[in-house]
Structures are given as C-alpha cells and as structure tokens.
Structure 1
C-alpha cells in the first residue's frame, strides 16, 4: 500500500521493508529525489500513461512534465536503460533458438515498450545457437526502413550461418503487415544468395511476440 503514513518516505520504506514492497510511484520518486517527489512521480505516470509509457519515453518527453527537468528525465532514462542491459545479460548465447519464447525476456525488455520501430538481427551458428545480436535500423512510430546491406553486413563479418529477423510494433498490433511480409521475403532472397538463410522473423509488442515462421509466412 502506498504511504499509509504520510511521514513514511520511500527511502526509509525501502530500507525497512525492501524494494519489492514499494509501489511503482515510490520507486520513481526515489529516482527523482528532491522535494515533492511523490507528486512529481504521480504526474509523470499520468502524463506517460503508466509504467510502459515511461519505459519507452525519451528525456525530451519526460521534461514536459512540470518539475521534472533534465536531471530527473535523464536519471529515469538511465534507470530503464540499465534494466534493458541487465535483460541482455540473460540472452541465451550459445543456446539453440527454436522460437520467440527462447529470447522473450530480452525482446520484451528491449523492444516491448519502444516508441519507435526498431529492427534487430539475431545471428545463429550452424547448430542454431545464438551468437550475435545487432540493431540495424531505427525508424518512426509506424515504420522502419531496412536495407539488406545493413542487415547482412554484421552477419557476414561474424561468419553467421543463419539469421532471425526481429522488429517491434509500437502500436501493439502483432499482426505482420504486408510490408513486413514483403521485406521478409526480400531479405530471405538475399540471405539465400549469401548462404545465410532467414529462419524466422519475430514481431514484438509489449504483450506478445509472434513468429512469421509459425504463421507460415516465410518463403518456401
């Protein structure tokens, strides 16, 4: 429960009860610090539309909430970025990737709440084990422009044997668009020429990850 006693401050509550017992707004108030941190934290949550909105917001957007400022906004973004990097540490490197569930934690942390479409490649070795993760393009809210050269350059340089394509839909709709399918087929053609086949394409939202291979949308 949030601050049953108005005199209880988040810092003291964490020291006494542990971080798990603090509400989201209290944790954010600790990051903000200073006077009226709880009120500013509540305003941020309201302006951003909740925790997921905060996770995907940039410092410029956060600064629009009165009383936050550059120091608070950059501290919040830094905290979320550290969380994303921790998720990357749990990537199953050297483990076979059979479907989106094998990398779900990382993909949701990295892309699930992103406000821009972002395109990643997961490079696999001859035994389908994850060896490489690269961001190859960042776009807008509704689109990202991807060139085959940027997709396959890191894969060729690292000697990868196959690739899984990954991108997010900030809209929350996991249905692959016609453009998604066309791009997948185009990249699959290039991959076939280079000897780096496209084995899947994952579409990521904050709540779900879908596989084009499982949907039967990869070229035969």
Structure 2
C-alpha cells in the first residue's frame, strides 16, 4: 500500500508535515522514504520488517546493495532511494562543517564522520585537511581496505596536506565490523602519520574510528 492511500492525518507523511520529522519513529521515517510497500504490506509494515531484519536503522543503511535487494519488496528503486538519502545526509554534514567552525568540536567531528563513513562496506581511510582555524579545506578518502592489508602512506598524506596548505589534519577510518576500538595497526599508523606530518609543522588533531553507531577518538582517549 502506498503512503498516499492513508487517510488524512493518519500516515507518517502527514505526521511529519504537521509535527516535524523529529516526531517520527525510525520505522515511520523509513516508511516515508520507501513511499510504497508490497502486496499485503503497507510501507510502514515493510519498514518495521526491514528494521527487525537488520537490527537497527544503522544496520539497514550499512547493508550492501545485494543484501538489500534480497529483502522482500526491496527493488532497485527503493535501494537507490535509501542510498540517495544517505548521500544527502553526508553532503549536508560536509556543507555545514565547511560553513563554520563545527569541526573544532569533537562531538561535531564524530557526527560528520558517522555520516561520511558509517555506511561504508569496506574500510576507508579519510583525511580532513584543516586551515589554521580548524575549518575544513578538503575531505578526502585516500586509502581503501584494512590497514593491515592496504598500505597507508604517510608521504601521500603529507603531499596532500601541502597541496591544500593545511595547518592541521584529522585522520579517520571505519571498522565495518562495527567495533570502534583501535587495533595495534591503528595505533602504529597514527604514530607514523603524526611523526611525518610533525616534520612539516602540520598537527594531527585526532584520529577517529567509526563503528556501527559508535566511535573512538584518539585525542579524547589521551593517545594524541
């Protein structure tokens, strides 16, 4: 059943328009995005089923395309809608961060990085290059794969930092397993990058690890 077939004021879309998006449950927000259900199931029924199947909204949005396509009622159009919604959130967070000094706050930094890296299926190593007021000059995904399996080259990070005239960087990567605790390799590459960039008088402000619904900050943990 399509959301458009709900009676006036009954459906999640009307609730969103009348009371604001924050008033909706995860299932209701998802139902608005899905727009239609499948035979015998409303969009809200389908949203609840998906959240139950994947365990949470984060689990659903972090699932791969093939996994989503294997879910009842999830065709290419619905999968594309979810991917587009996630990308809009990521781009909005980046615009907000570039517009002001949001990344001076560890909480806002983690919020942005959750948007940027939270839905990745493989490990991605990202660098935020900042000016001397800690505003974003560039956000760039530089390396892919596990830190043990795909080399992270301090020289490459240094070259990019000089190219963008960065005064500081924030390092980040995700753990697709969902656990945000740093590994030995994470600690080792942080030390190497801090040492290499320090020779250029470029500060490493933090290294943030993004897990599923959680994050770890080297700076807040006293490791930088």
TM-score range, shorter chain: 0.7 to 0.9
Which moved further from structure 2: 92-101 or 125-134? 92-101
Q: Of 177, 184, 208, which residue of structure 2 is paired with 1:178?
A: 184
Which string of whole-angstrom CA distances, capped at 9 and with x for unpartnered residues, describes residues 95-123 of structure 1? Answer: 38556235232122223454432211122
Aligned-partner SS, 1:91: helix
Change (3 A) 1:194 1:172: same
- Corresponding residue number in structure 1 for 2:210: 204
- How far, CA to CA, are the matches of 1:214 and 1:15 in structure 2? 39
Q: Of 55, 75, 79, which residue of structure 1 is paired with 2:81?
A: 75
Aligned-partner SS, 2:97: coil
Task: Structure 1: give runs of 5+ residues left out of the alignment.
Answer: 1-5
Change (3 A) 1:142 1:38: farther
Q: Is 1:126 the equivalent of 2:135?
A: no
Q: Is 1:136 the equivalent of 2:138?
A: no
- Corresponding residue number in structure 2 for 1:56: 62
Q: Of 26, 30, 35, which residue of structure 2 is paired with 1:28?
A: 30
TM-score (norm 1): 0.78
- How far, CA to CA, are the matches of 2:16 and 2:28 in structure 1? 9
Change (3 A) 1:48 1:161: same
In the comparison of the two structures, how many residue pairs are matched?
213
- Corresponding residue number in structure 1 for 2:3: none
Change (3 A) 1:10 1:175: closer
Please say if residues 102 and 109 of structure 2, whose CA atoms lie closer than 8 Å, have aligned partners that are also in contact.
no
Task: Structure 2: give runs of 5+ residues left out of the alignment.
Answer: 1-5
Instruction: Output the aligned Cα RMSD.
Output: 3.1
Please say if residues 126 and 161 of structure 1, whose CA atoms lie closer than 8 Å, have aligned partners that are also in contact.
yes
Listed as ranges, the matches of 1:182-197 within 5 Å are 182-197=188-203
